[in-house]
A and B are shown apart, each in its own frame.
Chain A
Amino acid sequence: MAVPYPFTAIVAQDGMKHALLLAVVDPSLGGVMVFGDRGTGKSTAVRGLAALLPRMAVVKGCPYGCDPEGQGGACEACRAGGEKKRAWAPVPVVDLPLGATEDRVVGALDLEKALTQGERAFDPGLLARAHRGFLYIDEINLLDDHLVDLLLDVAASGENVLEREGLSVRHPARFVLIGSGNPEEGELRPQLLDRFGLAVDVSTPQDLDDRVEVVLRRDAFERDPEAFTEAWAKETEALSRRLARARRLLPKVTVPPEHLRKVAQLCLSLGTDGLRGELTVLRAARARAALRGGKAVTEADIAAIAPMALRHRLRRNVLDDTGSEGRIRRALEETFGAGEAG
């Protein structure tokens, strides 16, 4: 594909950009769900994001792009040992296209080999290509339930297991799931929402200056993508370095014990289901701390990420119209004392 629109040149949409960066710093956060209309720059952001990441080392010739260093989740061929050659590949960003059939998602029988050689071979699908990268699903609520179940299962287990058409395959598929959907067009299942680490809203910028800026930059990009990307190269590089530093720093970020308690208290007062909420708040807060170069999580970190980590986990009270965001703000204020918690 052509040059992606630079991530740094996206106007406004700070919530979405922030959430995506956190997911890059800590891929174990569990992905990002973006709510909003099509055409608010979601897929642009995801594609631009990939350009920020350094190329990754892969085992040469491995269809799944296994890590030559990592033993744990390598595919069968790579686990078998033997000579492994190193190659460099960009971090994959796989778009789940509309109308994709299940066989292309999970992989299927290699038709050509079956027809010409009568051989039963596995033709890896999109999940295999997304391994160690990002899988982006636009309009997740348009996707067939069956496929959604399947994707969630793979995303959670980090492994694609196929038992069909006489094939028995198992390969690693760890990716950051990024979904988008429009709540006006159908409710999303709570189980599905819960699997996403973070959830953010995007909308068209209301501010006229922002909208004018969007059009001007887009126009400049369309007319000369290379020159535009070049003009933004400095920002892109700076952000790229910041991300790399944050990733190195992440394992060293600590959470002060009093904050641990506060986070637990916060989730308790909001009545979030399960432990996933608390874990995500902690992880996201650490990722934010790493992103700003801090060694310890602060209240400000927690306050900044709590809405996006929790808003989709609140028990929905059908008779209460208060937005989840408002409820979280209130709970934050109660937990961290009066005044602006951030």
Chain B
Amino acid sequence: MHPFVAALACLRLAPELGGLFLRARPSPQRQRWLAFAAAALGVQPLPRVPLGLTDDRLYGGLDLSATVRLGRPQLQQGLLAQAHGRALLLPMAERQPEAVLAALQDALDRGVVTVAREGLQGTYPARFVLLAVDEGEGGEAAPERFLERLAFPFFEPAVLAPPPPLPMEEDLWPEASLIFELLEGDEPLAPGALATLEDGLGAPRARLAAQGPLPRSVVRALGELTDALAVPSSRALGQAALTLRCLCAWADCALTSPEALASAAALVLGPRARQALASEPPATEAPPPSPAESAEAPEPPPTGEGGDQAEEPAPAGLSASTEVLLEAIATAVPEAWLTAASACAKAQRARAGRVGARTRLVLRGRPRGVRAGALAPGDRLNVPATLRAAAPFAKLRPPPAPGLRFALSPEDFRIQCYETRAATTTLFVVDASGSAAIQRLGEAKGAVEAMLADSYARRDEVAMVIFRGEHTDLVLPPTRALVRARRALAGVPGGGATPLAKAVQHATALAQDIARQGRQPLVVFLTDGRGNIALDGRADRAQAQADTERAARAFAFQGLAGLVLDTGRRPEPRARALAEHLGAAYAPLPRQGAAAIAQLVTASRPRSAAAP
């Protein structure tokens, strides 16, 4: 059976599995997969979560025109509640802001959405299947803690080339398999084809409801596989167990069926594997149908009849099948998937620690006056000001609707303004060349940590680039997390030549990136200004000097804020010249070390700006 069909068959029975995650670039194959998913979930067209979604559309918010018309607060349901019982497509998951992902994640976890906004309060059901599509290549990925909510990951290789079939018997859901094949073959669907899908659901649903409790030995076998495959997600085990239930409900087999077990593991655990299965995995030699079964765990009363279920499996049967199980999974998880999965994990790590930066909303902050104007989604109406604006016209306008005291019209709307502080990202560019490197690096690291330790209130971020030899390296991407910074800076090396020009260029690019994210960059150079590697990588002092000057002028041209801390033993004219070219402030490196650097940098941070 095709794994994608199996995944959808399971999701159809148990939306609690969250959904599926497709990490693949746009392609006709991907298009077909999504079209099939929409058909199999019975949702056409699939509602999408657009980029740039506002909070009120996501959670739900005040429907202003209806509120004004009816004279009582009217809720407009958000996307999450609207998707209840259906499905949602999340395109470009890797580009979605953290606030949106957090909302989706919360709904996936709880199956409800709680609205507490704009004078409204309520909890609404929001249980849906999420199809997350991630187009990130290498560098970008949606965060792991979000993706682990979705039981079934599929990586690009699986989409492009037909993945190995599951060890389950063919065609548990023949109607769906047929449609999948038709779509693969680019054949048009018969109008009645989709209706047949729904017909097939009744029997497995009933069987799922009638299943008995999960046998401990089966869950244990799955748990051991999780360890053997080094699956990092803590949820995978529960998802695999539920998937097993669904597959057994489709196949009408016992929960101890080795094929179903292998298929569930291949679907949920396989793509999450961080290591290939050793040919003879030591951990799973003897799958323990543990006799310590009964001790303190009270057996939950069996639900339903559990008719065809053996209460506990024959331990011998499982033991014998474990080898088969492992083999089945090993074939179901090609090497290419492993590579794709680890690339995704790497990108996720690079993303970690950027949460705070993305959740800033203009809706929050300290109130700062009101303005008149059209009400855009996400704006907050200031009711007293609005009523005040309407009051003088009360006599002039036609009488209000019955039950209303005021005749309001859109031009009366007064919108609350908020003041938020734009946060700063301080980018340290550290000269790690030469003999003084170790000490300078140590001080720069200390300064980074000292700044982070007290940067929480300002939501400030710190990043660090070092340059030495022929390279510049972003050793610490912008972050607010001290824990993360300390880990990243632990093994930074020093020594070698000084590619200053390249460092200035790199810093300029990074600072522009930071500014693009709506933050204020401050670039702090820790150097003596004596570059000796030209842009083309040659050790040519004069050329290096000229290149550095040019790069510095480009930096100045961008209007970026900078600070040069001269690390020379005595004030170095070339460092001062660098500062001039950069349009940056200049100061000799304080002798007192890290804390003094942090203080100096904090003082020269750009002024906080007020956002509208």
Q: Do A and B bind each other?
A: yes
Using CB atoms and an 8 Å cutoff, list the residues of chain A in contact with chain B: 1, 37-40, 95-105, 108-112, 114-118, 120, 123, 125-126, 138-139, 141-142, 144-147, 164-166, 183-189, 192, 204, 208-209, 211-224, 227-228, 230-232, 316, 318-319, 321
* The 4 A-B residue pairs with the shortest CB-CB distance in the complex, in nearest-first order: A220-B300, A204-B234, A97-B114, A104-B116
A204 to B234, CA, bound (A): 6
B241 contacts A215, C-beta separation under 8 Å = yes
Give chain B nearest CB distance to A195 CB in angstroms.
Answer: 14
A165 to B115, CA, bound (A): 22
Contact with A along B284-301 (1 / 0, CB 8 A): 000000100000011011
- Complex partner residue of B353 from A40, A184, A228, A232, CB under 8 angstroms: A184
**Beyond A102-B364, A187-B482, is A166–B119 a contact (Cβ under 8 Å)?**
no
B117 cross-chain contacts in A, Cβ below 8 A: 99-101, 103-104
Can you name 4 extra interface pairs (CB under 8 A) apart from A103-B117, A215-B237?
A40-B234, A116-B403, A214-B238, A223-B213
Contact with A along B268-307 (1 / 0, CB 8 A): 0000000000000000000000100000011011010000
Query: 16 A-B contacts, Cβ less than 8 Å apart?
Result: A97-B115, A98-B59, A99-B103, A103-B119, A110-B119, A115-B405, A166-B384, A184-B481, A187-B455, A189-B457, A214-B238, A216-B219, A222-B16, A224-B300, A228-B300, A318-B453
A142 cross-chain contacts in B, Cβ below 8 A: 98, 102, 355-356, 359
B465 cross-chain contacts in A, Cβ below 8 A: none
A117 to B403, CA, bound (A): 8
**Beyond A139-B102, A189-B456, is A111–B123 a contact (Cβ under 8 Å)?**
no
Chain A residue with minimal CB distance to B119?
A111
A109 to B382, CA, bound (A): 10
A282 to B483, CA, bound (A): 30
Residue B459 is within 8 A (CB to CB) of chain A in the complex: yes
Residue B360 is within 8 A (CB to CB) of chain A in the complex: yes
B297 cross-chain contacts in A, Cβ below 8 A: 213, 216-217
B120 cross-chain contacts in A, Cβ below 8 A: 104
A39 contacts B109, C-beta separation under 8 Å = yes
A112 contacts B73, C-beta separation under 8 Å = yes
A187 contacts B361, C-beta separation under 8 Å = no
Binds A, one of B151-159, B427-435, B444-452: B444-452
Give chain B nearest CB distance to A205 CB in angstroms.
Answer: 8
B234 contacts A184, C-beta separation under 8 Å = no
Give chain B nearest CB distance to A207 CB in angstroms.
Answer: 10
Binds A, one of B220-228, B547-555, B572-580: B220-228
Binds A, one of B64-72, B257-265, B517-525: B64-72
B404 contacts A208, C-beta separation under 8 Å = no
Residue of B116, B380, B405, B484 contacting most chain A CB atoms (<10 Å): B116
A166 to B59, CA, bound (A): 28
* Complex interface residues of chain B between 402 and 439 (CB less than 8 A to chain A): 403-406
Chain B residue with minimal CB distance to A210?
B223
Using CB atoms and an 8 Å cutoff, list the residues of chain B in contact with chain A: 16, 55, 58-59, 62, 67-68, 71-73, 98-99, 102-103, 105-106, 109, 112, 114-121, 123, 145, 213-214, 216, 219-220, 223-224, 226-227, 234-235, 237-238, 241-242, 245, 290, 297-298, 300-301, 303, 352-353, 355-356, 359-361, 363-367, 380, 382-384, 387, 403-406, 446, 449-450, 452-453, 455-457, 459, 480-484, 486, 594
A216 contacts B383, C-beta separation under 8 Å = no
A224 cross-chain contacts in B, Cβ below 8 A: 300-301, 303
A184 contacts B300, C-beta separation under 8 Å = no
A138 cross-chain contacts in B, Cβ below 8 A: 106
A98 contacts B106, C-beta separation under 8 Å = yes
A185 contacts B301, C-beta separation under 8 Å = no
A96 to B114, CA, bound (A): 9
**Beyond A116-B72, A116-B403, A215-B238, is A318–B116 a contact (Cβ under 8 Å)?**
no
B484 cross-chain contacts in A, Cβ below 8 A: 184
A115 contacts B71, C-beta separation under 8 Å = yes
A117 to B71, CA, bound (A): 9
B353 contacts A186, C-beta separation under 8 Å = yes
A186 contacts B453, C-beta separation under 8 Å = no
B119 contacts A187, C-beta separation under 8 Å = no
A208 cross-chain contacts in B, Cβ below 8 A: 220, 223-224, 227
B290 cross-chain contacts in A, Cβ below 8 A: 209
A204 to B223, CA, bound (A): 13
**Beyond A144-B364, A147-B364, A185-B355, is A115–B406 a contact (Cβ under 8 Å)?**
yes
A184 contacts B483, C-beta separation under 8 Å = yes
A212 to B241, CA, bound (A): 10
A145 contacts B459, C-beta separation under 8 Å = yes
Chain B residue with minimal CB distance to A167?
B384
B72 contacts A231, C-beta separation under 8 Å = no
B481 cross-chain contacts in A, Cβ below 8 A: 183-187
B300 contacts A116, C-beta separation under 8 Å = no
Residue of A102, A111, A112, A126 contacting most chain B CB atoms (<10 Å): A111
A104 to B480, CA, bound (A): 28
A9 to B449, CA, bound (A): 41
A215 to B214, CA, bound (A): 9
A102 to B118, CA, bound (A): 9
B245 cross-chain contacts in A, Cβ below 8 A: 219
A108 cross-chain contacts in B, Cβ below 8 A: 119
Give chain A nearest CB distance to B456 CB in angstroms.
Answer: 4
B119 cross-chain contacts in A, Cβ below 8 A: 103-104, 108-111, 123
B457 contacts A101, C-beta separation under 8 Å = no
A227 to B299, CA, bound (A): 11
A95 to B404, CA, bound (A): 34
A115 cross-chain contacts in B, Cβ below 8 A: 67-68, 71-72, 383, 404-406
Give chain A nearest CB distance to B462 CB in angstroms.
Answer: 11
B123 contacts A223, C-beta separation under 8 Å = no
- Complex partner residue of A111 from B73, B115, B224, B459, CB under 8 angstroms: B73
A108 to B382, CA, bound (A): 11
B403 contacts A187, C-beta separation under 8 Å = no
Residue of B224, B226, B356, B365 contacting most chain A CB atoms (<10 Å): B356
**Beyond A98-B106, A208-B220, is A220–B366 a contact (Cβ under 8 Å)?**
no
**Beyond A112-B71, A187-B455, A224-B300, is A101–B116 a contact (Cβ under 8 Å)?**
yes
Chain A residue with minimal CB distance to B480?
A186
A114 to B459, CA, bound (A): 37
Give chain B nearest CB distance to A268 CB in angstroms.
Answer: 23
B67 cross-chain contacts in A, Cβ below 8 A: 111, 115
A95 contacts B114, C-beta separation under 8 Å = yes
A144 cross-chain contacts in B, Cβ below 8 A: 359-361, 364-365
B486 cross-chain contacts in A, Cβ below 8 A: 318, 321
Chain B residue with minimal CB distance to A112?
B72
Give chain B nearest CB distance to A247 CB in angstroms.
Answer: 27
- Complex partner residue of A97 from B116, B241, B405, B480, CB under 8 angstroms: B116
- Complex partner residue of A141 from B224, B356, B387, CB under 8 angstroms: B356
- Complex partner residue of A187 from B103, B105, B387, B456, CB under 8 angstroms: B456
**Beyond A104-B116, A116-B72, A208-B220, is A186–B355 a contact (Cβ under 8 Å)?**
yes
B223 cross-chain contacts in A, Cβ below 8 A: 208, 211-212, 215
**Beyond A99-B103, A318-B449, A318-B453, is A118–B405 a contact (Cβ under 8 Å)?**
yes
Chain A residue with minimal CB distance to B290?
A209
Give chain A nearest CB distance to B185 CB in angstroms.
Answer: 39
A37 to B143, CA, bound (A): 13
- Complex partner residue of B116 from A37, A100, A164, A223, CB under 8 angstroms: A100
A227 contacts B301, C-beta separation under 8 Å = yes
- Complex partner residue of A165 from B58, B105, B384, CB under 8 angstroms: B384
Chain A residue with minimal CB distance to B62?
A111
Give chain B nearest CB distance to A312 CB in angstroms.
Answer: 13
Chain A residue with minimal CB distance to B72?
A112
A41 to B453, CA, bound (A): 29
B16 cross-chain contacts in A, Cβ below 8 A: 222
Residue of B109, B223, B245, B453 contacting most chain A CB atoms (<10 Å): B223
A318 cross-chain contacts in B, Cβ below 8 A: 446, 449-450, 453, 482, 486, 594
